[in-house]
Every structure is written in C-alpha cells, then in structure tokens.
Amino acid sequence: MLVTLGYFTVFFIVAQIIKDNSIVDMGWGLGFVFGSVSTLLITTDPTILSYIIVGFITLWGVRLSGRIIKRNWGKPEDFRYAQWRKEWGDKVMIIAFFRVFMVQGIINFIVGSASYVVIKFNNFAFTGAVQYIVLVGLIIALIGLLFEVVGDEQLRKHIEQGTKTLMNKGLWSITRHPNYFGEILIWTGLYLTGAAVLSSVNTIYYALLIVSPVLMSLVIIKVSTPLLEKHMAKYDGWETYTKRTPMIFPWGKKD
C-alpha cells in the first residue's frame, strides 16, 4: 500500500508542476505493475504462479498506461479535471491530492490486493484439484485481456476510418463496452487463482478480499460506464444500439 500511495504521490507532484491532474489516468495501469513487482521482491519463495501473475499484470498494466499516454500526450488537461480545477479554486492542490490521487491510489491498491496476496503466499503445485481452479482463473483473466486488446483494436480501426459513427461491430456487437467487460473478467479470474493460497492464508481473510473484483466491477458499472455512455449517446443510432446490445455482460441486461 505504501508503494502504491508513494507512486501516486509522485504523479501528484508532477501534475502540479505541469498543471495537469488528468495525468493520473496515465499512471493507473502502471500502479498495479509497481504493486505486483514490489510484492514479488519481498516474497521469500515465489512459485511459478507468482511469476505468471506478475507477468500478466505487467503486460496488462504497461499496455493500458501506454495506450492512454499515447492518446493523451501533448493534449490539454482532460475536461473533467479542468472543471474540477475551476470549482476548487485556490484549494485545488490540496483537494486534488486527496480526492484525485490518494483516492485513486487506495482504489488501485484494494483492487490489486487479492493478486498481491496470491503472489506472496501461494503454494501452487501441479497437483490436486486446486491446479484446475487456478487454471480456470488464468483462462478467465486471459479471455478478459483478449476482450480488451481486440475491442480496443477494433475501435481504433473504426476511428481511423473517420466516419464519426457509432462503433457496433465485432465485439462491440455483443457488448457496448468490451474493454470494461474484459477488465471485470481479468480481476475476477485473478481472484480465482487465490485457491492456491487457501492452505497458507486464513480462508475468511481471503474471502474478504473478494472486494478486489467487486470494487473494480462497481467502479466500472456505476461510474465509468454511465460517463462514457453519456458521451456515446450523441451518435446516431444510439437508442437502437442500446436496445439490441447488452451494456457490459454479453449475456446480461441491455440497460
């Protein structure tokens, strides 16, 4: 937790220098990378599962932050943060520290906490029923990553066409937010790999760490998705699209 909060504090300092609090978004994915790598460094006897999870989170986090950096580099402060800057006035620095950087740092740590526990305390071996639960978890996480990668690539190609129309093909035809669906799958899958720690960690304690995928899912469903859908609603055909395509879960409700 100290590593994560320290990491976001560095971003806060840089943000004040360049007067752009929206750079916190660029650091979101890498926050998990720092958390997982630092956990690995203090793990006495890491297993192959420890390295797999750190490698997976590193691949996911570097890709996510790299994509956001490429998209936002050289652009002015995001309109949301710019609006908050106006609202907070001369108290913007102190309020941004706690309400933007520390809040994101805490959420970042909580979401990653289950994976950090698995990295440090797992006793994984290719024996018994546990190995199959771990394998299922890793497959779910991998499917989630594929949804993110493929969904983002499909959207990128659609935007490059310059039609300025609603994206409703490919993965976007089975869910309005394939990248968000992928995100939920990733943290759910990584949580399932925790079956490998149940012999060394209190079962009730690990059960409580289900807050990791639950918190991420709630942020996506209740915060991120409504904000993005408000923006997407300006495109022609939005109402027809929402009636035909589920919001996040391909098998779920359409609203």
Task: Report pLDDT digits (tens) over 112-136.
Answer: 999 999 999 999 988 889 999 999 9
Q: Tell me how far apart the alpha carbons of residues 59 and 249 are, in angstroms, rounded to a whole number.
A: 24
Q: Tell me how far apart the alpha carbons of residues 184 and 212 are, in angstroms, rounded to a whole number.
A: 10
Q: Is the pLDDT of residue 17 over 90?
A: yes
By CB neighbour count within 10 A (0-12 exposed, 13-18 middle, 19+ buried), where does 192 fall? buried
Domain residue ranges of the chain, discontinuous segments joined by +: 1-121, 127-255
Q: Is the pLDDT of residue 143 over 70?
A: yes
Are 160 and 80 spatial neighbours (Cβ–Cβ below 8 Å)?
no
Q: Both tokens of residue 144? A: 């989630």
Q: Is the pLDDT of residue 255 over 70?
A: no
Q: Note the pLDDT tens digit of each residue in 21-69.
A: 999 999 999 999 999 999 999 999 999 999 999 999 999 999 999 999 9
Q: Which residues contact 142 (CB under 8 A, 6 or more apart)?
A: 56, 189
